[in-house]
Amino acid sequence: MSKSISNLKFKKVTDAALQLLVNAKVTKVPIDVLRIARLSGVVVEQTDLGDDVSGLLVIHDRQAVIAYSPNQGEQRKRFTIAHELGHYILHNQDSSDAVFVDKDFIVKYRSQKAYSEIEMRQEQEANAFAASLLMPKELIFEELKNDKLQNMSEIQVIDELARIFDVSIPAMTFRLSNLNILY
Ligand SMILES: [Zn+2]
């Protein structure tokens, strides 16, 4: 996803995620995404959103609310919250009213409605933000130094890092490949 965003834009997105981690004084993983969202002034609630909606961001009278569906795995919930927080931080912080609805990734790309260029870019940015927030580069490199990982196969390393960071295996695989740790 991030590969189609320009490098400058990607840096801006990464820096925004890093800033939240610094503000929250995060030093260990897994990242407490709920605490970080709340520190950003966002209300987070689990709500039934129907079959194909994974999460949404609503801003009303300057109060941001993230709702996420209970119908997804725990790690996917964390990614959804981080993704919606990305929309808030990157795209909507100055709006007094706004709504973002995120459908399941696959449903989204199968749907009839084509995304506009701006929407596509915002989705890529929110995904890149979520990846940077939940799997900070420095902390990944820190974990990679761990002796325990040295004798593991690539698949085992991905598995172990996904467990440590409490993210899905596909999300970790994608992140490691984006950081050029996997080839
Ligand atoms: Zn989105």
Domain coordinates of the chain in residue numbers? Answer: 2-105+115-133
Other CB atoms within 10 A of residue 59 CB: 20
Q: With a cut of 70, say whether residue 2 has pLDDT above it.
A: no
Q: How far is the CA of 78 from the centre of ligand 1 (A)?
A: 14
Q: How far is the CA of 156 from the centre of ligand 1 (A)?
A: 30
Q: How far is the CA of 151 from the centre of ligand 1 (A)?
A: 38
Mean pLDDT to the nearest integer, 89-94: 83
Q: With a cut of 50, say whether residue 108 has pLDDT above it.
A: no
Q: How far apart are CA 90 and CA 88, in angstroms?
A: 6
Mean pLDDT to the nearest integer, 138-146: 94
DSSP element (H, E) containing 111: none
Q: How far is the CA of 153 from the centre of ligand 1 (A)?
A: 33
Q: How far is the CA of 28 from the centre of ligand 1 (A)?
A: 26
Q: How far is the CA of 65 from the centre of ligand 1 (A)?
A: 14
Q: How far is the CA of 154 from the centre of ligand 1 (A)?
A: 30
C-alpha dihedral, 176 to 177 to 180 to 183, nearest 10°: 120
Beta strands in 69-170 (DSSP E): 98-103
Q: How far is the CA of 100 from the centre of ligand 1 (A)?
A: 7
Distances (CA, A) of 147 to 103, 131, 136: 40, 25, 20
The strand pairing partners of 66, in sequence order, are 44, 57
pLDDT at 114: 67
- Note whether 66 and 88 are within 8 A (CB): yes
pLDDT at 104: 63
Q: How far apart are CA 81 and CA 86, in angstroms?
A: 9
pLDDT at 172: 96
Selection from 32, 31, 29, 59 nearest residue 43 by Cα: 59
Q: How far is the CA of 56 from the centre of ligand 1 (A)?
A: 8
Mean pLDDT to the nearest integer, 90-112: 69
**Which of 115 and 60 is assigned the larger pLDDT?**
60
Q: How far is the CA of 172 from the centre of ligand 1 (A)?
A: 19
Q: With a cut of 80, say whether residue 183 has pLDDT above it.
A: no
HSE, side-chain direction, 13 A CA sphere, residue 118: 3
Structure tokens at 73: 């795995």
Q: How far is the CA of 83 from the centre of ligand 1 (A)?
A: 6
Q: How far apart are CA 36 and CA 40, in angstroms?
A: 6
Q: How far is the CA of 68 from the centre of ligand 1 (A)?
A: 12
Structure tokens at 174: 């994608």
Q: How far is the CA of 101 from the centre of ligand 1 (A)?
A: 7
Q: How far is the CA of 26 from the centre of ligand 1 (A)?
A: 24
Determine whether domain 2-105+115-133 maps to CATH 1.10.10.2910.
yes
- Note whether 65 and 39 are within 8 A (CB): no
Q: How confident is the model at residue 107 (pLDDT cuts 50, 70, 90)?
A: very low
